[in-house]
Amino acid sequence: MASPPLRVGIISAAWGAKAHLPAWRSLDGIEVTAICTSRPETAAKAAADYGVARAFHDFREMAADPDIDIVDCGTRPPLRYDMVMAALGAGKHVYNGIPFAKDLSDARAMTDAWRKAGTVAVVDAFMQAVPGMVQMKAMVDAGWLGEVFGADIAFEVPLFSAAQTNVPGYVWFADPANGASAGRNLGSHMLHLLVHFFGPVASVTSDMSLALKEWPLDGEIIRPEVPDRASMLLRHASGLPTRVEANWGKIGGEGFRFSVWGSKGRLEARAPVFPMAHDTRLFGTRDAALGTAAMDEIMVEADYRAVAGCHAVAERPETGLFALASIFAAMRDAINGEGMAAPDFAQGLHVQEVVEAAVRASDERRWVDIQA
pLDDT digits (tens, 9 = 90+) for 138-193: 999 999 999 999 999 999 999 999 999 999 989 999 999 999 999 999 999 999 99
- Average pLDDT of the chain, as a whole number: 95
pLDDT of 35: 97
Between the two ends of the chain, the Cα-to-Cα distance in Å is 45
Share of the chain above pLDDT 90, in %: 92
Asked if 91 and 114 count as a contact pair (C-beta separation under 8 A), the reply is: no
pLDDT of 2: 66
pLDDT of 1: 53
Cross-sheet strand order for the sheet of 368-369: 296-298, 281-285, 266-271, 255-262, 148-156, 241-247, 229-236, 201-209, 368-369
Can you tell me the mean pLDDT for 6-12?
A: 96
Separation between Cα atoms, residue 200 and residue 217, nearest integer Å: 39
Can you tell me the mean pLDDT for 91-110?
A: 97
Phi and psi angles of residue 137, each rounded to the nearest 5 degrees, phi first: -65, -40
* pTM for this prediction: 0.96
Name the β-bridge partners of 148.
Answer: 262
